[in-house]
Structure 1
Amino acid sequence: MANTLFFVSLSLTIVSAFSFLPFLAHAISSCNGACRTLNDCAGQLICINGKCNDDPDVGTHLCSGGSGQPSEGTCQSSGNPTCGGQSHIRYKCSPPVTSSTPAQLTLNDFSEGGDGGGASECDGRYHMNSHRIVALSTGWYNHGSRCGKIIRITANNGRSVNAKVVDECDSINGCDKEHAYQPPCRNNIVDGSSAVWDALGLNKDLGPVDVTWSMA
């Protein structure tokens, strides 16, 4: 009888452990939490030697007890690309993501042959501009960890729209054929399709428009 109870108890323990595994697999780790891929870490943290930590390219200090704001020096480049005789600044970081992150909305053509240059970074494909899709500045794109994620964009007119992240708005490279000879993006850009602008009721001829965004 004692042996029977022991094996029943052991079986229940094993079943409980395995039933918990799916939750572990989808857990998002914070500072110093265990990780195996970039998607295992929360926010702008990356997986370094099996633990979630600050990304040196982004310049946050969340895990070292700092303010979490990127330092100004981290955002400066060692060299600036030149388009049409004008020099442009490169950025490796973006402002911290909050529940209402200030940004500038720009217009992008995600179709083949459009002004967006090459295919989308997330999937290597071109996309229809009738879809509500966006590209994010390099720091917010965060090594592709936000690919396929849905963000919520809110305009100053009070209208909001959900859009899918499909591409990077490169804040480091530009002024070349791959980037349709456009300068690098600034570090606070949400580059939206026509459908995003239409859903927000914005005039696409206005140029960059101030918006806020958050993860949906």
Structure 2
Amino acid sequence: MLNWLIDSANHPGWPATAGPVRVPKGTVRLRPVRLRDGRTWSALRIRNQNELLPWEPTGSGQWDRRHQSSSWAPMHSILKAEAKRGAMMPFVIELDGEYVGQLTIGNIQRGAVRSGWIGYWVDREATGNGVAKAAVALGVDHAFGPGRLHRLEATVQPGNGASRAVLRGVGFREEGLLKRYMDVNSRWRDHLLLALTVEELADTAVDSLLRAGRLIPHTEKS
């Protein structure tokens, strides 16, 4: 018990689940990544190459080779190690209990800053009808609640209108343009910096979406 208390003090909010919330496509929740996620992760990443490649950091080697199931175990080990030291909260996005993407809160800083960045991807078959927005809202509330963070940042290419809309819908505001910020698809790309602090939310992000009619109250029958 004492070891758990020490660990939770080092990485508050991890491991944990967040949700569920309901959108027209079904029920969305976040849960920790698992070692046995490898096969599903591989299938989704390979299937979504065209949707993800224009927006993600340049990797080494061909897309399908670096997203084989065998690549998941070492990646999971890194994610778990970063989570254990309190630098990251890596989640799977589930829709009706099925893995449909990932959401990560990373580069977590404590002390006087208490900040991190948030990033996500969602399978093309689960996009639309608020799945991504619900997942980001759950991530924001978890980061500001159990995660004890004060500020979240996100970076997005100016041409990624869908992701910008998701982030704005949850309350993120644009702070500026980062010139040639990241190597994406073998070119240095400009990115917009968006941010949100806990004081800017009048209520939780989920409750704000519920009031706006963007989420369905979870007690409502499908």
TM-score interval, smaller chain:
under 0.3
More helix by proportion, 1 or 2? 2
Q: Which structure has more strand as a fraction of its residues?
A: 2
Structure-1-length-normalised TM-score = 0.25
Task: Tell which has more relative contact order, 1 or 2 (C-alpha 8 A, sep 6+).
Answer: 2
Q: Greater Rg, structure 1 or structure 2?
A: 1
